[in-house]
Structure 1
């Protein structure tokens, strides 16, 4: 009888624990992710080999349940963020994921631009339209457009940039209908949507945020297989790996080199989130050097946070502050070979 009681109690407790793990709190938890070598996922046609390696660093981010929240509270290198600090207002999970993947796509384009410009190789562009990042609830596009839709014609017109797209739409009046030609899941369709004045801008629109969909034509060709990695924080390391395959000199000098930071088409390095967790990940992977965004020497810069974490975990990894791609290249060119 007693055994049956204990068995029933155990099953009830197990069910409660299982069900409660699916109850999400209004928080995200981030923790150290991985340091991933870039040479296997970036390929420049007939590119040069390297003796060392460049690595991107990641954090693991997920919605918090009561257990992951409690563990994060007790862990030194796990961070808790309210939902509004991670997702935009009224942004759905689907829209958040789409935004992260498109930020990664934009980051890859900027990395290619930066590396090929540095190598003095010509770049040609082809504009394909705009991607919808998110749709504002209650606005005309709500229910007609979705995150991930590619708009490539407006009223039958194609454009050479998102600026032309926005200028055309904002030149119309509230109540005017605009016909969008969109691609969704590899199928083409059309959506007629009336325009409405947006409170945020005072201009007419349909209530979407968007990003350019453009392609680059470069020779030699380059491919980046980033799969489901989202966000823009690998930009700097992408650009270093691409450039290293374009030039004969091996900038790694035989060392494992990690880092983080966004990159724009002019080679400027920008700050990212989760620098502390990325330092932990890079140290576990055995990196010798870590590039951190300097933010022009700001007191609360990524670089300063990285140095603090590096001291705390007693790593031998060299933390190097950078504001530009050129600064990272200069550091590597002057580094002694292993």
Structure 2
């Protein structure tokens, strides 16, 4: 073989190696995810109430975190950008498949929307009817004796023949039973009801349980009817902002007053706001969309948390720290309840 031919083959080999390396760096999936700032979307396009358009000239914005599976190239990039974070796949999905994870997030979102509708209508003095159907099964833990019988997406409607109107009711009843006690669980799947009996497992040193993660499954009826289309968004973190949007429309009270108001936080039946994940990314997303106010959940940490979690930051503390660095001019407002958020908007220019 001539020297020139060997040189050509060598160059071909180098080019192929480079192509393979670039392909690996860009396409090879890693067992981790990258969290980045997502979008801040105007909720006016999500919520429809016949005869009750949004009277505001500003906007309420729901914020999100962009989540994508890491590749070698994006993993290196995430290490270099301070506001990007890398999370283990199991920490993000709980060990579930992508399809199951997406399904669980939709359950969370629907539960959050139902609570938002109920809280908003009550605060507006409008009638609302809640029918508690049971509890969605979001995950069955590996040590659960019900694993294999109960699946993600099932709705538990009774335990030992008892139906409760809150998840706390189920948890309180089950928690009183001893570890190892047989429990008959009635659940609904694909429109059909089934019952299975297995023994309870130990959840903590003092409490027994089925061994599942759950959220509320309820039916909310109002007049007029509220239609909420969350699109591809999932999870419970939009609860507060959905409540504000629905309340503004049903009450006709302009809380926005021309302002772009973003925020995050779960909402419960009593209107309390709960903490969420990824708030630093959501602050950046809100700033990019022009928001000037950002509602951040605040839950005072217990002495136990401060003792065992060094450097603990509340949602509010992390949001404020992020805004100072990446969102100058944005006002981060701590909130513990829906009423507190409304009070701020009514009394602040």
- CA separation in 1, counterparts of 2:273 and 2:202? 33
* Residue 171 (structure 1) shift: 5.9
277-286 vs 12-21, which deviates more?
12-21
Map 1:115-130 onto structure 2 (within 5 A). Answer: 115-130=120-135
Matched, 1:329 2:342: yes
Q: Shift of the alpha carbon at 1:217?
A: 1.3
Unaligned runs of 5+ in 2: 303-311
Give the Cα–Cα distance (whole angstroms) in 1 for the partners of residues 169 and 221 of structure 2: 22
Aligned partner of 1:233 in structure 2 is 237
| Correspondent of 2:329 among 309, 312, 316 | 316
C-alpha spacing 1:17/1:124, structure 2 compared with 1 (3 Å)? same
Matches within 5 A, 1:175-194: 176=182, 178=184, 180-183=186-189, 186=190, 188=192, 190=194, 192-194=196-198
Task: Tell whether the 8 Å contact from 1:36 to 1:56 is kept in structure 2 after alignment.
Answer: yes
The CA distance in 1 between the partners of 2:177 and 2:85, in whole Å, is 45
TM-score, normalised by the number of residues in structure 2: 0.80
- C-alpha separation in 2, matches of 1:271 and 1:153: 29
Encode CA deviations 1:164-211: one digit per residue, 9 max, x unaligned. 65637976995858464431xx45364644334446477776543333
Partner of 1:279: 283
**What secondary structure, in the 3-state scheme, does the structure 1 residue paired with 2:227 have?**
strand
Task: Say whether 1:10 aligns with 2:15.
Answer: yes
Among 65, 73, 84, the alignment partner of 2:71 is 65
> In structure 2, how many angstroms separate the alpha carbons of the residues matched to 1:281 and 1:168?
42
After TM superposition, the structure 1 stretch with the greater mean CA deviation from structure 2, 8-17 or 301-310, is 8-17
Which residue does 1:40 correspond to in 2?
A: 45
1:136: which partner in 2? Answer: 141
Match of 2:61 among 55, 62, 73: 55
**How has the CA–CA distance of structure 1 residues 161 and 272 changed in structure 2, closer, same or farther, with 3 Å as cutoff?**
closer
1:239-278 → structure 2 map (5 Å cutoff): 239-278=243-282
CA contact (8 A) 1:288 1:318 kept: yes
Structure 2 CA distance for aligned equivalents of residues 168 and 126 of structure 1: 21
- Structure 2 distance, partners of 1:18, 1:117, is 55
Partner SS, residue 24 of structure 1: coil
Report deviation, 1:92.
5.3
Taking the TM superposition and a 5 Å limit, the aligned residue runs for 1:96-107 are 96-107=101-112
CA distance in 1, matches of 2:92, 2:205: 23
Q: CA 1:228–1:220 in structure 2 vs 1: closer, same or farther (change >3 Å)?
A: same
Sort the Cα spacing of 1:110 and 1:325 in 2 relative to 1 into closer, same or farther, 3 A: same
1:163-202 matched pairs, under 5 angstroms:
167=173, 174=180, 176=182, 178=184, 180-183=186-189, 186=190, 188=192, 190=194, 192-198=196-202, 200=204
Q: Is 207-216 or 192-201 further displaced after alignment?
A: 192-201
Q: Would you say the 8 A contact 2:183–2:198 is kept in 1?
A: yes
Q: Give aligned pairs, total.
A: 332
- Residues 108-138 of structure 1, C-alpha deviations (whole Å, 9 max, x = no match): 2222222112111122111223221111225
C-alpha change, 1:255 and 1:154, in structure 2 (3 Å) is same
Q: Is the 8 A contact 1:236 1:263 kept in 2?
A: yes
1:230 and 1:146 map into 2 onto residues whose CA distance is: 20
